Every structure is written in structure tokens, then in C-alpha cells.
Amino acid sequence: MKKELFIEDDNKPLSFGDRMADRIATFGGSWTFILSFMCFLGIWISFNIYWLRNRGFDPYPFILLNLILSCIAALQAPVIMMSQNRQEEKDRERAKIDLKINQKAEEEIRSLHRKIDILLTQHEEVHKKLAEIRNAQ
């Protein structure tokens, strides 16, 4: 299934960077990423300690692994922030639209209250006139 290339609210096309940020944020915040990364770490550590007998290309304390983890964190965090900022903009726009809808609904409710007040006033006047007619008879 192909991901949408448009923001659903205003159909503005997303840039390549926006699409990549969304995909990276989606994958980086998933259990698939966490579990696959844990497997990668386990394999890396096992490979270097047991198979290469801690004399391999990255012996304990795994300086290269720490460098790789730092680079991933340094790159992943800003990309996720870009995606969150875009989502925040969309949420802000939705909130503005919701506010306008709520204000319109409030205006309609006030209008209905005024109409009901007018009807109640007319009903009371008619009721008084009927009472006067009944008393006159």
C-alpha cells in the first residue's frame, strides 16, 4: 500500500525530506526498530567477544559500536524532531479549524436561545390574553 504524498487537510505536496522524516520517525519509534536493533547489538557483541575472542575489529569496550550508536542517535533525533514539528503544525491548523467550528456552533446556539426566548415571551402573552378573555366571559 502506497503512503499518501499529501497532507490530508490542505493537499499540499510533501517534500522528499518531509516524507523521509515521517518514514524514519515511524520506523524509529516502532517495536520493529527496537527489537531489530537489540538483535544487532547482541550479534555485534557476541561476534566480537566470542567469535573473534575479543581481539576483533571492535574489542571490549566496543568503541566502534559506541561511535555507531552516537551517530545514529545524533542523526535520528533531528529527523524525528522535524517530523514532530510538521505534525505539530498540522495539529495547530486543525485546532484553528476546530475553534472556528466551535465558535460557529456557539453562535448558532445563542441564536436558538434568542428564538426560544422570543417564543416563550409570545407564549406568555398569548396565555395572558387567553386568561383575560376567560375572565371577561
Q: Which three cell numbers stand for residue 84?
A: 514532530
- Burial annotation 112-123 (CB, 10 A radius, 16+ → b, else e): eeeeeeeeeeee
Judged by DSSP in three states, 43 sits in helix
Q: Which residues contact 62 (CB under 8 A, 6 or more apart)?
A: 44, 45, 48
pLDDT above 90: percentage of residues in the chain: 45
Average pLDDT over residues 75-91: 90
Single pTM value for the model: 0.57
Q: What local confidence, expressed as pLDDT, does residue 48 receive? A: 86
Segment 53-81, tens digit of pLDDT:
877 778 888 899 999 999 999 998 898 89
CB 93 within 8 A of CB 100: no
Q: Which three cell numbers stand for residue 87?
A: 505534525
Q: What local confidence, expressed as pLDDT, does residue 10 receive? A: 58
CB 23 within 8 A of CB 5: no
| In the predicted structure, residue 121 carries a pLDDT above the cut 60 | yes
- Burial annotation 80-99 (CB, 10 A radius, 16+ → b, else e): bebbeebeeeeeeeeeeeee
| In the predicted structure, residue 38 carries a pLDDT above the cut 90 | yes
| In the predicted structure, residue 2 carries a pLDDT above the cut 80 | no
Structural domain boundaries in the chain: 16-136
Q: Which residue's entry shows cell 517534500?
A: 15
- pLDDT band for 21, please (50, 70, 90 cuts): confident
Q: What local confidence, expressed as pLDDT, does residue 11 receive? A: 66
CB 25 within 8 A of CB 80: yes
- pLDDT band for 6, please (50, 70, 90 cuts): very low
Q: What local confidence, expressed as pLDDT, does residue 5 receive? A: 44
